[in-house]
Every structure is written in structure tokens, then in C-alpha cells.
A and B are shown apart, each in its own frame.
Chain A
Amino acid sequence: MKCTINGIECEFNPGQTILEIATKYNIFIPTLCYLKKSSAPTGKCNICAVEIVGKDELVRACVTEAEDGMEILTESDKCIIHRREILENLLAMGYHDCPTCPIPGSCELQDLVFRYGAKGIDFTKAKKEYVVKYITPFIRWDSSKCVQCGRCIQACFDVQVNNAIRIFEVDGDAKKVEDREFEESKVESRRIIERLKADFKEPILPAPDENFCVSCGECVQACPVGALKSSFEWLGPKKWEMKRVVTTCSYCGVGCQLELYVKDNKVFLVNGADRAPNHGSLCVKGRFGFRFISADDRLKKPLIKENGKFREASWDEALDFVAKRLSEIKANYGPDSIGVFASARITNEENYILQKFTRAVLGTNNIDHCARL
């Protein structure tokens, strides 16, 4: 089947939404509540509304399936005026004073405000008392930045299935809205998002509950604004000033793909990369447990023990000494008197080199690692 988006002919399969087709053809449609990995779009924020030629009402691109021959406009005047209105309402809801936000310059709301020329930031209207607190040592909640998009709920209930987000009444303090349904292991994110809408006597906002949160940070990565962010984003350099390097996590055997954000030879932030096997998801260690890399007590020079005490040595001295001692022991007691522990922590290339060294240079097969442990 075929439709056109902004005059561009697009082929699609029945059942595909306008947003899915646009994404495939690299046509931008703004989203806030939409989360790709979630089971079903919530259609809550309306920012993705697009015009269909011949129809009066705008439709939401995230939930509307395209039809054969449909002519879709994503940036018509009608769309822009509609989006501007939504954005101005969102701005009025909270305290969107960008310099007080953890993520200036990488906020999806801020980008859209600039793109569509939304005005009317009037903080005097935002009189509600907000909560800023650390839910865990890694996750910082600033309720004044929340736009109630519900992405954090989808991230927690649909993607990680940690079911740790609850709804809070916020008025200077955060009081949990009790609901037994939230405690069920198979509770649907949609049900909670509906509750958020139904009970909307502001301000009532979602956030992780410290009693259930395991700091996976899926909500932090999903949050389009500065409401749920990590301590590292709040305090460290901003994303746009850092280099991004994709690599593989060094904790458990899942092999999650990470994006390391780097500046001045230091890792300041880790995000999940949208690649197999993890497709953006991480756990608390992978996402937040990286500071060991730049710990002060990293070994920086070779050490040789003399009279029971270590002293620093040059590489030349240390390697010559090791080479000499290993050669002596091999000559005196035979190659099988030497054992090598390879490592489940170093790379394939390094393990290969180590077995080659053990077998071809030391001349023994005494090489093993702690896989069995």
C-alpha cells in the first residue's frame, strides 16, 4: 500500500501507524509520550498530531494506522499551531526554567519549544510547590519538570517490568497514591497512565517508589525532559559537550551495548545503546557503576616487591625481571611448573595472546580461568 507524507510517496504494510512509516522514511514527527520499546502507544500527549488532507481533525500519528492513498502533512500550519498550543500548556504546567534543569541542551521539550516557537514561560503561574529528591543514590526526581507523558511508566512496567513507578500527590511533599493494582506483577502500564489522567487533580505525578526501584535507570533514559535524571547528568558535563563511544559492558555475561560519554579522558555518563542484545536497557551496575574506571587507586606503575614491600618500577625493569624469573623456573623445574590464570574479564584478543604465550613461549598447557567459579 502507498500513502504520501509531505508529498513523499511511502510504501507500507497494512497495520502500520503513520509514525512508524514516517520513521522508516526519516520524516520527523515530534513525540513525547511515545516509547518505541513499549508494548502499545499511549497516545497521551497529542504532540504527534498530523493533518490528513480532506479531514478537519488532526490525528495522532502514533496510534493512527495509515490507509491506502492517504495524504499526510506533518508540518502544516494547522499542525504547528496545534503543537505550539500543547507546548505552551506543558510549559505552564511546571517550572521549566532551563538553567535549573539537569539536561539543558538535550531536552526534547526544549527542542520542540524552539522548533515550534512556543512562548509564554510564566513562572509566576507555576506556584505549586515541587519536590526535588534522590529516589536512590543514582536517580534524581525533579517533579517540576514532569510533563506527565508516561514514558517512565511504560519503561518501568512494559520494558524492564520492575513495576516500581507509583503515582504521587505533590504539594511541597510527595505523598504516594495507594493502589493495590500497582502491586500485581502483570499490571498494565496503560492502567496506570489512565489513572494518572482520570485522577488529574493537579499536581499528581509518576515517579519511582524507593521501596521497589532497583535503579536500572530505564525511566531516566526514557524521560524526555529533566524530571527523572541520574545524579551524573545533574552534576557532570552535558551530553552535547561529550564524545560518545559505543562499547560492550564489562560486568555480567549479557554483553549489553553501552554508550560511554567521555570528556577530558574521563567517562561521565553511560547510556544503553539501542542495539542487540539489550536494545537500550541496562541494569544499575552497567548504567551507574562505571566510576571504578577513574578511581584514584588504579594501578599506574609496575610494582616489584622487595623485603615484603612494594616499590614502583619502570616497565623495562619489571618485564625484564618477570622474563628472567619465568625463564629460570622453566629451566630448573620444567614448563609444567608454571601456571597461568587467564581471565573472564579481558578481551578475546588478550585471552588468545595469553594462551599463545602460555603454550608457545612457556611451553605448558597449564592455563585456566575462573569460569568454573
Chain B
Amino acid sequence: MAGLAAAFGSGAMTNNIGDLENAEVILVTGSNTTENHPVISTFIKRAVKHKGAKLIVVDPRKIKLTEFADIWLRQNLGTDIAWINGMMHVIIKEDLLDKKFVEQRTEGFEELKKVVEKYTPEYVEKITSIPKEKLIEAARMYAKAKSAAICYTMGITQHITGTDNVKSLANLALLCGNLGIPGGGVNPLRGQNNVQGACDMGGLPNVYSGYQPVTNEEIREKMAKAWGVSQLPDKVGLKVTEMVPMALDKSIRALYIVGENPIVSDADISHVKKALESVDFLVVQDIFLTDTAKLADVVLPAAAFAEKDGTFTNTERRVSRVRKAIDPPGEAKADHEIICELATRMGYKMKYSNVEEIFEEIRKVTPSYAGITYARIEKEGLFWPCPEENHSGTPILHREKFPIGKGKFHAIEYLPPAEQIDEEYPLWLTTGRILYQYHTGTMTRRVEGLNKIAPECFVEISPTDAATYGLSDGDMVEVASRRGKVVAKVKVSDMARKGVIFMPFHYSEAPANMLTNPALDPVAGIPEYKVCAVKIAKVA
């Protein structure tokens, strides 16, 4: 999200889900939408089928959406900056840019122009293996559309250059004036139900709710006053990916983990496990005894979504109600009740008679949520920013101007992935999700039917590689990287390209993240899950 914030001043989806049906062209990259955001994929497929929208898919895997695509570019892993720069090269060279938009609403164009100059279609083909004619065709298609939307997910962000990848997509949209208009935009599709809300509510080391920086004295004073404390810490806190190594060297002594299972979801999990084991005190609050909870000193039982009231904010910034349908099992409690009781026991009285009272406090201290009330979202959610009660919300951002004034171009050079294949580790591994499982499987692996359909981990491999290694469907194969090894079943499929294998990361008995590379994007702190070097061997 750091990439979009740098380019536009706001790190969220610029347009909304329903708006995809207004787009003339939709560019989907690094998103296996039909499996990871199935309902959003229906909007894309309908736009193509019923509204005549053109679809460009850029993905190394032959994902389902490629069947609907007018153009499919199959790039090498980790070469996104190159093809995006290449498209911009073509657009500038053929004078297809939106000059008026670039002139009036952006800055930094000259630097961008200079950098993309060398990304000729021939040069880009060498890096990405995308045929130059196809790149030119895609560039023309995107640039000539009156409105073109970009959708992306972790296939773009989970790289050491993740932030730069996002900035590059923002460059492309700025160059063609695809911001602030219906059917346009740069749209990160968020993977978890309330990622957007967790960010909005200040579940981040540098900001309070509404992205108000902790380093700003005025805001700090405002928050201290609202919370009735004399002062608040002024130093930016640590990211998850920083806390883990600091736990190892004992500068972090206690961890309090709510509803996360980093043991399975983090890159290089043996490292994470060691870190969680080495803290003096670990508290885990969850609905199940997850692999992470098993390491805890204290486990606190929480309520599931159907057992509590509140709100979630979805990927399109829409704040919708969550309603209690049933009571939690046994003595389990809603997370906010647990935290309130704990705070009170630590000498800070925290008590609310219901969740709406918490939301009212949020509104008071969070300008972008100020106009949203439970009454207003009773039937349908509202899009933030919604600064006042008579404001109808903001389905499309950046209509008149950007929060930072002008949109910023970032001149970015292509950088190869942190790890390269070699003689010992000759194959690329990329990871992701599948339709029938979710994240670390804590929920879905307890649903019988889902596990009948997708019972176990697999290694997706191209027919060519399968032949080279003498593998066929159902064989067991050991996949090893420089960090660990995992055994899983072979699935020969033309979804995989030669030299690249794919594994889902849901399965704790065959955790793909034993293999992945914890090399971090320096800005966002996101590990490079999408690329690492591996070797495979048939298990007898």
C-alpha cells in the first residue's frame, strides 16, 4: 500500500467493485481473481461478456481469466517493472499518453520519460520473455481506452520490489489519465476480510486510525486528549517483519497476537517459530488452537464473526455492518471485550456498553470515518472518506485532485528477484491461494466439503518439466529451497509454464512457506513470497 500512498497520497482501491463494469479495458496482473476474489471476478467476466470490455491479463500462470482475455502476457517471475516500463515506453513513443492529465495533475513526468526510454519492446522481451508485438498491442489497448482499470494483488506486492511494482502500475494509470474517472483506477484487491479496516483503524506502527501519523505532535496531542492519557509514544513502531528478528535477539520480550497465524503464513517459518519460542511471554487470542497458539503462554478464546457486532471495511473502502447471529461457544468473548478487560486490569479503565459506542469514538477521532453512523449503514455500506453525516461517501477517489496535490510519477528501474535459479536450485517456485482453501486453513480445513474437493497440498508443474523429471500426476515430490524442504503431490498442468512450479500455502503439513524467501521489500516490509529458487526430486 506504500506504493499507492507515495503516488496518490492514499493507499486504497481508487475505484469500487461495481465500477469495473464501466471499464472499457481491464488490466489484471498478479491476481488469480477467479480463485482469490471469486465475486470480483464475476464483475470482470461480466464486463467482458456483456459490456464488451477488453481484458488484458499479465500473469506467469495460465489462470482461468486468461480464457476471457483479449491479450495474455506471460511474463517471467519478478519482471513486472520491466513490462510496465515497456508499456509506458510504447505509449510515450506513440504519443498515446493523456497529455492534459499529465500536465495538469501530475509531476515527475520528465524523469519517468528518461527512465523508460531504454525499455524498448525488444529489451523488455529479453527480460520478461513477453513477445514485443504483444507488449505493443497491450500498450495500445490500455492507452487508447477512454477508461481503463487496473486490478492487482499479492502477485505484484510480494516481491522485494513490491512497492516499486505498485508505483509502476500507478505510473501507467497516471500516464493515461485513468484516475478519478468511472471505469478507471488502480485497484489493489485485498486478501482478507478486514485488512483495509485493520489499516484504517491504526493497526499499523506509524499511524493512528485514519492514517494520522504518530510522529505529528498535534495529532498525538489530539489522540492523547481523546484517550485521556498525558502522552503517547512519538517513535514509529516496528513492523511484523521487524518484530520477528528482534524477538530472536531478545529486544522484543513479549508478543500479543490477535487472530493471526504467522507460523504458517510468514516466509521462512522455521525462523518465525524460533522467534515466537524465544520471547519471554506470548499471548495468543484466537478462535482455534492454531499452530501459533500452541506456542503461547496464555491462549484467550475469541468470538467468531457470526458471534459479534461491529463493522468490516472491504477492499473498496466500503464500511459494512457485522451482526451477531449466535452466541460464542463456552466462555469465548469478543476480542474487544477481552482487550477492554485487560486494559482495565492494567490500570486504564476501558468500558463500552456496546460496539456502537466504540464506533462513535472512532468517528470522533478519525476524519475519514466521521460521517459514517450505524444508522446510515444499516442497509448498505458507505465508502470512506465520508467526512460528514450529510456526505454520501466516496466511491471514486482523486476526482478533482490527489490528497498530496499532484499525482507523483516515480522513475523506476527494473531489478531482478533477490534469489536467482542456479545449477543446484534450477526451478522457480511461486506461491498463492486456491479457491477452496483460505489463508492458513484455520477456517476452511474444518469444512468437510472443502477438504473433499481440495484435501492436500500439491505442486503444479508444466508437462515439459514433468517429462524432464519423470513425474506424473499423483507422484510425491520433494521440493527443496535453501531454507527447507516440503513433500507434496504432483499436479501436471499447463497452468504452469516451463521452469516455474506453483504451490498453495494453506497446508500446515506441507507448508510452502518453509521454502519461501524472507527477503523483504525495503519500504513495505513484504517478503518475496512470489519468487524463490528450488529443486525437486521424486520421492520413491
Task: Tell me the A residues contacting B by CB distance below 8 Å.
Answer: 39, 136-138, 158-161, 185-186, 214-216, 231, 243, 245-257, 260, 262, 265-267, 275-278, 281-286, 288-295, 297-305, 310, 315, 318-323, 325-327, 329, 332-333, 335-357, 359-361, 363-373
- Which residues of chain B are within 8 angstroms of A315 by Cβ–Cβ distance? 331, 333, 341
- Which residues of chain A are within 8 angstroms of B267 by Cβ–Cβ distance? 373
Query: What would be 8 A-B contacts, judged by CB atoms less than 8 Å apart?
Result: A137-B449, A265-B326, A341-B257, A344-B260, A347-B322, A367-B202, A368-B238, A369-B198
- Which residues of chain A are within 8 angstroms of B197 by Cβ–Cβ distance? 344, 347-348, 351
User: B259–A346 contact, CB under 8 A?
Assistant: yes
User: B315–A255 contact, CB under 8 A?
Assistant: yes
User: A39–B256 contact, CB under 8 A?
Assistant: no
- Which residues of chain B are within 8 angstroms of A303 by Cβ–Cβ distance? 289, 296, 298-299
B114 beta carbon closer than 8 Å to chain A:
no
Cα distance, A129 to B476, chains bound together (Å)? 43
B415 beta carbon closer than 8 Å to chain A:
no
User: B194–A344 contact, CB under 8 A?
Assistant: yes
Q: Which residue of A lies closest to B196 (CB)?
A: A253
User: B526–A372 contact, CB under 8 A?
Assistant: yes
Assuming the contacts A277-B318, A302-B298, asked whether A267 and B193 have C-beta atoms less than 8 A apart, the reply is no
- Which residues of chain B are within 8 angstroms of A353 by Cβ–Cβ distance? 335-336, 339-340, 350, 358
Q: Which residue of A lies closest to B256 (CB)?
A: A340
Among A300, A345, A355, A369, the residue within 8 A (CB) of B332 is A300
User: A347–B331 contact, CB under 8 A?
Assistant: no
User: A256–B195 contact, CB under 8 A?
Assistant: no
Total A-B residue pairs with C-beta atoms closer than 8 Å? Answer: 461
B152 to chain A, nearest CB (A): 13
Among A301, A365, A370, the residue within 8 A (CB) of B205 is A365
- Which residues of chain A are within 8 angstroms of B297 by Cβ–Cβ distance? 304-305, 325
Assuming the contacts A186-B49, A291-B448, A322-B342, asked whether A250 and B203 have C-beta atoms less than 8 A apart, the reply is no
Q: Which of B77-85, B225-233, B399-407, B462-470 contacts A (4 or more CB under 8 A)?
A: B225-233
**Which residues of B from 28 to 74 have beta carbons under 8 Å from A?**
34, 36-40, 42, 45-46, 48-50, 67-68
B310 beta carbon closer than 8 Å to chain A:
yes
- Which residues of chain A are within 8 angstroms of B123 by Cβ–Cβ distance? none
Cα distance, A299 to B304, chains bound together (Å)? 11
Among A286, A295, A299, A300, the residue within 8 A (CB) of B446 is A295
B421 beta carbon closer than 8 Å to chain A:
no
Cα distance, A9 to B272, chains bound together (Å)? 70
Assuming the contacts A160-B42, A354-B203, asked whether A327 and B251 have C-beta atoms less than 8 A apart, the reply is no
Cα distance, A303 to B284, chains bound together (Å)? 10
User: B350–A357 contact, CB under 8 A?
Assistant: yes
Cα distance, A319 to B311, chains bound together (Å)? 26
**Which residues of B from 278 to 331 have beta carbons under 8 Å from A?**
280-281, 283, 286-289, 293, 296-302, 304-308, 310-316, 318-327, 329-331
A37 to chain B, nearest CB (A): 10
**Which residues of B from 209 to 262 have beta carbons under 8 Å from A?**
209, 214, 223-224, 227, 229, 232-233, 235-241, 243, 246-247, 251-260, 262
B524 beta carbon closer than 8 Å to chain A:
yes
- Which residues of chain B are within 8 angstroms of A290 by Cβ–Cβ distance? 306, 447
B418 beta carbon closer than 8 Å to chain A:
no
Cα distance, A278 to B526, chains bound together (Å)? 30
Cα distance, A39 to B42, chains bound together (Å)? 13
Assuming the contacts A137-B449, A161-B46, A303-B299, asked whether A254 and B262 have C-beta atoms less than 8 A apart, the reply is no
User: B296–A305 contact, CB under 8 A?
Assistant: yes
User: B201–A319 contact, CB under 8 A?
Assistant: no
User: B331–A340 contact, CB under 8 A?
Assistant: no
**Which residues of B from 121 to 180 have beta carbons under 8 Å from A?**
157
Cα distance, A301 to B331, chains bound together (Å)? 5
Assuming the contacts A288-B449, A370-B262, asked whether A345 and B298 have C-beta atoms less than 8 A apart, the reply is no
Among B233, B304, B323, B448, the residue within 8 A (CB) of A137 is B448
Cα distance, A291 to B304, chains bound together (Å)? 12
User: A369–B191 contact, CB under 8 A?
Assistant: no
User: A247–B325 contact, CB under 8 A?
Assistant: yes
User: A255–B193 contact, CB under 8 A?
Assistant: yes
- Which residues of chain B are within 8 angstroms of A320 by Cβ–Cβ distance? 345
Cα distance, A301 to B301, chains bound together (Å)? 6
User: A299–B332 contact, CB under 8 A?
Assistant: yes
Q: Which of B92-100, B436-444, B484-492 contacts A (4 or more CB under 8 A)?
A: B436-444
Among B157, B202, B266, B355, the residue within 8 A (CB) of A349 is B355
